[in-house]
Structure 1
Amino acid sequence: MTYIMNRNERETRGKRENFDKKSFSFSDIPMWFHFVVIGIILAVIAFSVFKLVKWNQGTAELDQTETGSMEIEVLDQIFLLPEANREGHEYDDEETILFLGNDAITHMQGDDGVCNKVAQKLGATVINCGFPASCVANKNANFYDGDAIDAFSFINVANSIASGDYSLMEQNAGKFDNGTYQASIDNLKNLDFNKVDTIVIYYNAQDYLNGRAGMDPNNDVNPITYRGALNAGIKALQEKYPFIRIVCMSFTMCYGYDSTGMVSGDRVDLGNGKLTTYLQFMIDISGERGVSFIDNYYGTIDEDNADQMLTDIIHVNEACNEHVAQHFVEAIYPGDN
């Protein structure tokens, strides 16, 4: 049986055959269509580049206002003497300040020294009872004649003040070719502590440089540790003279030595911690004993200005003493400057 297509089927088939035989060509696409596609591509690229640049720049604006040097947060903590400690004590009208320390107060004892600068700023009586090269802590648990400097450590000075017995110090003063030792002993012996308003403890970083142990976890008053000696010494002074305000002033920055040479103390451990380890011990003890702490470490000397503040790796110059004295006055006597 033969199938015969009708007219409509023949026309449809003919059109399909003609379309199949016809090949596709880009030349058949109108020119305007090319421009539209190219324009879209360029717009997408431009938008992507714009977003990428903006993302890299961020949204923060730079404040170009001149603000001077970068602020450093100091760690001062100020305590007032409890009223209970003042009861029964008669204060006079003259402010008397006793400084205990080492080279921090004895290296310069004239108008260029920190004690005289404090006296000038406050109009107060400031007594310098420092002992050169001494430390806060003892080197030996029991006094040894070969280490006579131990007689003048803070813990022994504090115990001598509390007991009134200065014999150990007097017996060893002559072992040093420096009249400062005996002069400071005489000042302490002749001082009427009932007239003392404030005791300032100001030692440089000799404990760190001389390898004094930092702490004893089993004995918080161990005299051969920095933390223990500071704790025990302050405790002795507070028990003997509760009406005297006590202020701890931290050391300034110093340098130490490692295998690479001279390095800032906050970056080298000499055996018992970095310099900042000792700083933290003083902060902790000041808080525990309720005495004021003045931070001379942060915001005073750093590696950028050390050549303008230090005379060697540890001793400071007059410019630094001026800064320390002003800081002390502003922190402890804010209404008098």
Structure 2
Amino acid sequence: MSRDNKKFSFEDIPGWVHLVFIGIIVLVIAFSIFKLVRWNMGTAELDTSDTGSLEVEVLDQVFLLTDDKKAGHEYDDEETILFLGNDALTYDASETGVANQIGSKLGATVINCGFPGSTVANKNTEFSDDYKLDAYSFVNVVNSMVSGDFSRMEECASSFDDYAYTSTSWELKNVDMNKVDTIVIYYNAQDYLNMRVGMNPDNEYDPVTYRGALNSGIKALQEKYPYIRIVCLSFTMCYAYDSNGQIVSGDRVDFGNGKLTHIFSL
């Protein structure tokens, strides 16, 4: 058989070619691992303030406290985290719940002040006894914290069978905010399920909209407690019933004010 008609065989490839090929694969894998580890370290830095090494994800937005915000406040050696939210916190308030797991991982003291069924935004512009759950919305809870007036929360608590409204109102009222280092805001998709409006383009602090209530509450917390860092956790996954009565993902159903991902991405 002539050389031109000889069939190709991997055995004909010189050994050094195999070594080069394997070396390239190893280098690519090593480089990928290096980039992943370096990216996951996520160093955040501000020009005129604090710096920190944080574990971050692509969609995380990190704003570190500037020195002027922390000026005059005496920090102790214990990390104290106050959680504000709804069923995302109250569904499991045991050691396996999200608040206590975070506390265990960080070695921090956690205060779980979640109110079942509550939302970020109010249902009504003005509070009405016809819908007392508004007393425990994020924006109204913050208003009570900032003003120091918890009377409405305490009065409305007796309207609910769940004693959590009474006990949590009392606990929140007695929190020593001078010892709180971090406030975590963690709500599930109740705003979407209760058809709260996403935003008001004419009023970025509108309390009956999700974005407005969140803006208003965070702004009030920052003004009252400038030394406390604020963390907003992403909402949890949610299913909803479509027009045919089928259970589908919340990002596929629009109740009139937008789909799940639209409401919470504003």
> What TM-score bracket applies, with the shorter chain setting the length?
0.7 to 0.9
Does residue 275 of the first structure (1) align with residue 260 of the second (2)? yes
Residue deviations 1:20-79, cap 9 Å, x none? xxxxxxxxxxxxxxxxxxxxxxxxxxxxxxxxxxxxxxxxxxxxx9x9xxxxx7511122
Does residue 263 of the first structure (1) align with residue 248 of the second (2)? yes
Distance 1:101 1:91, change over 3 A: same
Q: 2:82–2:110: 8 Å Cα contact kept in structure 1?
A: yes
Does residue 197 of the first structure (1) align with residue 185 of the second (2)? no
Does residue 245 of the first structure (1) align with residue 229 of the second (2)? yes
Instruction: Work out the CA distance in 1 between the residues paired with 2:212 and 2:103.
Output: 31
* Larger relative contact order (CA 8 Å, sep ≥ 6): 1
Q: Secondary structure at the match of 1:194?
A: coil
Describe how 1:154-233 pairs up with structure 2 within 5 A: 154-233=138-217
TM-score calculated relative to the size of structure 1: 0.61
The residue that corresponds to 2:125 in the other structure is 141
- 1:233 Cα deviation after fit: 0.5
Q: 2:186–2:232: 8 Å Cα contact kept in structure 1?
A: yes
Q: 2:70–2:227: 8 Å Cα contact kept in structure 1?
A: yes
Instruction: Work out the CA distance in 1 between the residues paired with 2:112 and 2:90.
Output: 8
Residue deviations 1:260-292, cap 9 Å, x none? 3111111111111111112212xxxxxxxxxxx
Q: Secondary structure at the match of 2:265?
A: helix
- 1:135 Cα deviation after fit: 0.2
Q: Secondary structure at the match of 1:227?
A: helix
The residue that corresponds to 1:101 in the other structure is 85
- 1:258 Cα deviation after fit: 1.3
Instruction: Work out the CA distance in 2 between the residues paired with 1:151 and 1:123.
Output: 32
Considering only CA atoms, is the larger Rg found in Structure 1 or Structure 2?
1
- 1:231 Cα deviation after fit: 0.5
Q: 2:123–2:196: 8 Å Cα contact kept in structure 1?
A: yes
Q: Secondary structure at the match of 2:146?
A: helix
- 1:182 Cα deviation after fit: 1.3
Match of 1:128 among 97, 107, 112: 112
Unaligned runs of 5+ in 1: 1-64, 68-72, 282-337
The residue that corresponds to 1:150 in the other structure is 134
Instruction: Work out the CA distance in 2 between the residues paired with 1:220 and 1:168.
Output: 25
Q: 2:197–2:263: 8 Å Cα contact kept in structure 1?
A: no
| Superposed structure 1 runs of 4+ greater than 4 Å apart | none
Give the aligned residue type for 1:273: G
Give the aligned residue type for 1:140: N
Instruction: Work out the CA distance in 2 between the residues paired with 1:264 and 1:244.
Output: 35
Identity over aligned residues, as a percent? 65
- 1:229 Cα deviation after fit: 0.5
Give the aligned residue type for 2:251: D
When the two chains are superposed, the root-mean-square deviation of aligned CA atoms in Å is: 1.4
TM-score calculated relative to the size of structure 2: 0.77
Q: 2:198–2:264: 8 Å Cα contact kept in structure 1?
A: no
